[in-house]
Amino acid sequence: MQKSAKFIIIKGVATMIIVALAGFVLFNGIGRHPYTYEELQDVFIAKAAEYNVKANGQEQLVSEEYGNSITFVMQTEDGERACATYGRSPFFNKFKEINFYSGVNGVLALDEMTYTVNDGVIGYDVTAQFGDEVGIELSEEVKPMMYIKFMAICILAMGVFGIKIFLNKWNRR
């Protein structure tokens, strides 16, 4: 029984759309990237103010770009602290928040705090330094997240094609 050419074309286009959407979600992640590069510092300061880390012009603020992300560290005159990392979308030049920490109690009461960042392309450790000298120290050891995503796609494709070949061979008997 022959299938119509129209059905085959519709099935092919639908498959391509589904694969493209799955790839977009895999590489871009779930959620939107609402911030532009120019507004990141203002977004960070505004979010810190929501958590009572209010900048009054006398704060120490440093930022560092690394991989596919930007990290900010701030300490106000009264000792309040905040740090955050924003990741860039691989498809657009927009950013979203990955990590945010604030306060003077708990982990940020220490003069150093280390946390792990996965920006979608690489994974690495960030050490936010507070106290007399505010700074950011980035680990030299990175984990390649994009390679893992490509490998997952390859394994999935091999499985799909293997099943298709197996089922076609099985149906011929």
Mean pLDDT within 102-124: 81
Q: What is the pLDDT of residues 110-120, one digit of tens each?
A: 788 899 998 88
Residue 135, φ and ψ in degrees, nearest 5:
-160, 175
Least confident range from 34-48, 112-126, 131-145, 159-173: namely 159-173
CA distance 131 to 134: 6
CA distance 124 to 71: 12
71 bridge partner residues = 64, 85
CA distance 7 to 140: 52
DSSP per-residue letters across 138-154: E-S--EEHHHHHHHHHH
Task: State which amino acid sits at residue 92.
Answer: F
88 bridge partner residues = 95
Mean pLDDT within 50-69: 86
Q: What is the pLDDT of residues 143-156, one digit of tens each?
A: 888 888 888 888 88
Residue 106 has pLDDT above 80, yes or no: no
Within the chain, what is the greatest distance between any pair of CA atoms? 79
Q: What's the mean pLDDT when you consider all of the chain? A: 85
CA distance 108 to 75: 10
Q: Is 115 helix (H, G, I), strand (E, B) or coil?
A: strand
